[in-house]
Amino acid sequence: MVEALRKLATRDVSGLEELSDEKVVELCKQELPDDLTAYRELLRRYEGLIVNTCNKILNSPSDAEEVGQDVMIQIFHKINQFEGRSLFKTWLYKIVHNYCNNRLSKIIRKREGSEKYEDLEAQRELSRENEHVSQELSADVQESIAELKEKEREVLTLKFMSGLTIQEIADVLELGLSATKMRLYRAMESFKEVYIQKKNVDTSFYE
Amino acid sequence: MEINNEIFAKIETQTEHIFKSAGWNAELVINYERIDKAVDRALLEHVMRDTSTFVFKGFGAALSGLSAAFFGSAIHSDVNYRA
């Protein structure tokens, strides 16, 4: 029945693709819950980034799927709370950040060494399935990232995967600009250290 | 402590190169099944919330209506409207 409702409430999406995020958000506010077209367009733009970001932060594909779904549903319920004072992307990543933090608290309590290994193997499997990714390099990067602290993983993911600027990251994390820059710098330094050790790479690359 | 901009820019470029080579910012394939699942769940939650609101708000109204009907009939039980 829900599937039938979903089909009834979705019209042709052509034309929405060219609109800015903010215009699509306005449509969502006007049309939800009766018309889902604009909402689907938002999800089309961001579902991959949401789940991938969660995956990189949580280092667990199964948790990332669940948290990603929760985030997408939150957009539906809370879209009227977006007032346009920041970019939609920034608002979205705040939700991702909050949900990932909540899940991390649970994961840290439950995680054991064997689970971490299984998740790393699952992540390797996920990397192999993506035709656009340099498989070995991605797995090595992911392993290095996995050894960092959660806050370092998060800031690297927001910067290098989600493509946020430092100001946008500061808004998401609710930090000052200097503090964000310092966190990012330290995260890059930590990543460099782990990556070099793991790969025994030629350190002159980093000179 | 302020970070030297030049040093920051250098390590940022190097790190970006590694992540780019690893495909971290590659264009992602859209997963429409995932989108459908999220939409279905959002709709279901919305319907459940509306139903719960109706039940709780409607329950009070129904209860007071029943009470009014009961006490009303008790008060007026001696009235005979037969004609």
Q: Are B38 and A72 in contact (CB under 8 A)?
A: yes
Tokens of A106: 């649970």
Chain A residues 5-44 with a CB less than 8 Å from chain B: 5-6, 9, 33, 36, 39-40, 43-44
B12: phi then psi, degrees, rounded to nearest 5:
-65, -45
Task: Give the nearest chain A residue to B11 (CA atoms).
Answer: A188
Lowest mean pLDDT among A86-95, A113-122, B5-14: A113-122
Nearest CB neighbour to B24, from listed A43, A141, A181: A141
pLDDT 10s digits, A62-74 = 999 999 999 999 9
Q: Are A196 and B61 in contact (CB under 8 A)?
A: no
Say which DSSP state B14 is in.
Answer: H
What ipTM does the predicted assembly reach? 0.71
Q: ∠ at Cα A38 (A34, A40), nearest 5°?
A: 95
Residue among A66, A41, A46, A43 nearest A55 (CA): A66
pLDDT 10s digits, A28-44 = 999 988 899 999 999 99
The reported pTM is 0.72
Task: Give the nearest chain B residue to A183 (CA atoms).
Answer: B3
CA quadruple A197, A198, A202, A204: dihedral, nearest 10: -50
